[in-house]
Structure 1
Amino acid sequence: MSFPDITPELSARMPDLRGRLLANQSLAELTWFRIGGPAQVLFSPADEADLAYFLAHLPADVPVTVIGLGSNLIVRDGGVPGVVIRLGRGFNEIAVEEGHRLRAGTAVPDVRLAKAAADAGIDGLAFFRGIPGGLGGALRMNAGAHGGETRDVLVEARGVDRAGNLRTFANADFGFSYRHSGAPADVIFTSALFQGRPGEPAAILAEMERITQAREASQPIREKTGGSTFKNPPGHKAWQLIDAAGCRGLASGPAQVSTMHCNFLINTGGATAADIEGLGEEVRRRVKEHSGVTLEWEIKRIGVPG
């Protein structure tokens, strides 16, 4: 399907815009699942000032959705109405600061932050090696792996709200909990400051290699997948509940529960977003029936059905 093209109207309202506006742009290739419909408008701002200018001049009735590297995302087949914002090169810098700190743009992949920290002899951020995606998503969902979480190392983050105002949030302002941030939903984070501790680069790189090997041995990282599908319920591990409910390898057409790690869904080739999401809902139903536990989606789902 396609949406009405509103890019001429937006361009007319924003003569000084430097970023790129694309109408009815496919989002499938921007997600790890390789599925989903188009964005009515895909906007890639040039930098933070350009993003603020865009949001300040965007009509209030136009919906805004933000995506990152697409690792933890299902775009539904009908696409996403309004504007989808994806941060790019203007948000991809990393700077080492005094006191074993790193300041990074939110388009930086988590793994790149971990490597930059190791190179600078900054320990405490190696766990980011085990998280697929970018820093913007890590802030939004308090991403974590291998014993570390974003909230453990975040000092502050900077962003732009829906009205185009620049805002700064301290760690305490986020209201972090397991795979959750309570920061205002309308804020698009643009950069963040992380606190580490002194470390030896060789030892940190060795820890990152251990994390890499553990991921490759236990997760289907070379498949078209979206990472962990469901949050771990209190007192349980999602994969164990899914396995106990007999869902390992369960398939719905080309959508399948991974046989390697059954909290991962896989597009084996030609799956639609409806196939993937429908399989996830079937897994939730079977787990609820078997154990009485309700699984909550960890993967973000956006857009309208096809």
Structure 2
Amino acid sequence: MAPDCEVDGGVSAPVAIDDLRGRLTHDAPLAKLVWFKSGGRADWLFEPEDLDDLRVFLERLGGKLPVMALGLGSNLIVRDGGVPGVVIKLGKPFAKIETRDDHVVACGAGAHGILVASTARDAGIAGLEFMRGIPGTVGGFVRMNGGAYGREVSDVLIECDVILPGGNLVTLPKADLQYTYRHSALPDGAVVVAARFQGEPGDPEAIGAKMDEIAEARENSQPLRTKTGGSTFKNPPGRKAWELVDAAGCRGLQMGGAQVSEKHTNFLINVDDATSADIEGLGEEVKRRVYEHSGVELEWEIQRVGRP
């Protein structure tokens, strides 16, 4: 067993681990890894040392167990019963960012949106400022067509590198992802490991000013320093989810330790040691009240994973 590989005593690993260089943990707590600070454990948590380590692990796993990639955990409810199979946590080895010719920004899937935008700014590359306003990492942005302040990943993605269940590393052009609003056609169990974004020439000072505007807008309108999960519901066509929630009288509504934010009604917050059942239940109650009030069926934007 590699010295960095951790497996609790008496538990058989799901794959041969003698030459894996990453960290494999059984029954791993996930609450500390997600913004809501709630939820159960992963059957297995694998933190690969690098791309080859991840590829070998997934090849050996051979699709025998479900696989879920985890970034910052910023738009995620991990249910209290935990997550079956394997959670893949991509760390620093997957967080590199570099600028290339023709105003291309190449990123690892673990790169934070704010650092992608900042790197582009410093290189005089415009068009990626919106990533300053998305809490999360590139892998999640690519999978969910992340967006904010009038732009989304489908506007700038060239291609992404993905390891498919079974361990095959493939490069997928944007067209293959069949993007729609906050959705892609990436199959379950596929792990995004890198992406290339197309920017355009710009003035670093102007780019920085736009990023500052985005940061200020977030600060003024969103409950940033709370245990939250970002935007809860997708905006229905031609409508704003927060307006529908507010009109249905849900501002400040509480269930257990979970509450609809007073500051931004499309945010749920953990105010008093909420369980994930509290948070998800509150979201479902908000959906019910909105439908009863306006006839609009809200759709979850936050991803909900695991066993109830």
Q: Normalising to structure 1: TM-score of the pair?
A: 0.95
Q: For residue 50 of structure 1, what is the aligned residue in structure 2?
A: 53
Q: CA shift at 1:89, angstroms? A: 1.4
Deviates most, 57-66 or 113-122: 57-66
Q: For residue 72 of structure 1, what is the aligned residue in structure 2?
A: 75
SS at match of 1:192: strand
Q: Unaligned stretches of 5+ in structure 2?
A: 1-6
1:253-302 Cα offsets, whole Å, 9 max, x none, are 22100011100000012110000000000000001111111111000011
Amino acid in structure 1 at the alignment position of 2:249: G
CA distance in 1, matches of 2:72, 2:300: 18
SS at match of 1:95: strand
1:30-78 Cα offsets, whole Å, 9 max, x none, are 0111001111111001111111100111153322122110000001111
1:244 aligns with 2:247: yes
Report if aligned partners of 1:56, 1:164 keep a CA contact under 8 Å in 2: yes
1:223-242 Cα offsets, whole Å, 9 max, x none, are 11000000011121111110
2:283 to 269, 280, 304: 280
SS at match of 1:10: coil
CA distance in 2, matches of 1:55, 1:89: 19
1:80-99 Cα offsets, whole Å, 9 max, x none, are 12111111111010111000
Q: CA shift at 1:5, angstroms? A: 6.2
CA distance in 2, matches of 1:87, 1:58: 17
Q: For residue 217 of structure 1, what is the aligned residue in structure 2?
A: 220
Identity %: 56
Report if aligned partners of 1:7, 1:21 keep a CA contact under 8 Å in 2: no
Amino acid in structure 2 at the alignment position of 1:199: G
Report if aligned partners of 1:5, 1:40 keep a CA contact under 8 Å in 2: no
Q: For residue 150 of structure 2, what is the aligned residue in structure 1?
A: 147
Taking a change above 3 Å as real, the CA distance of residues 285 and 223 of structure 1, as seen in their structure-2 partners, is same
Q: Unaligned stretches of 5+ in structure 1?
A: none
Amino acid in structure 1 at the alignment position of 2:109: T
Deviates most, 12-21 or 138-147: 12-21
CA distance in 2, matches of 1:133, 1:198: 25
Amino acid in structure 1 at the alignment position of 2:89: R
Taking a change above 3 Å as real, the CA distance of residues 5 and 304 of structure 1, as seen in their structure-2 partners, is farther
Report if aligned partners of 1:6, 1:41 keep a CA contact under 8 Å in 2: no
Structure 2 matches for 1:1-306, cutoff 5 A? 8-10=11-13, 13-58=16-61, 60-305=63-308
Deviates most, 7-16 or 201-210: 7-16
SS at match of 1:74: strand
Q: CA shift at 1:7, angstroms? A: 8.6
Alignment size in residue pairs: 302
Taking a change above 3 Å as real, the CA distance of residues 60 and 196 of structure 1, as seen in their structure-2 partners, is closer
CA distance in 2, matches of 1:7, 1:56: 24
Amino acid in structure 2 at the alignment position of 1:185: D
CA distance in 2, matches of 1:97, 1:7: 48
TM superposition outliers: structure 1 runs of 4+ over 2 Å: 4-12, 183-186
Amino acid in structure 2 at the alignment position of 1:218: S
CA distance in 2, matches of 1:6, 1:54: 20
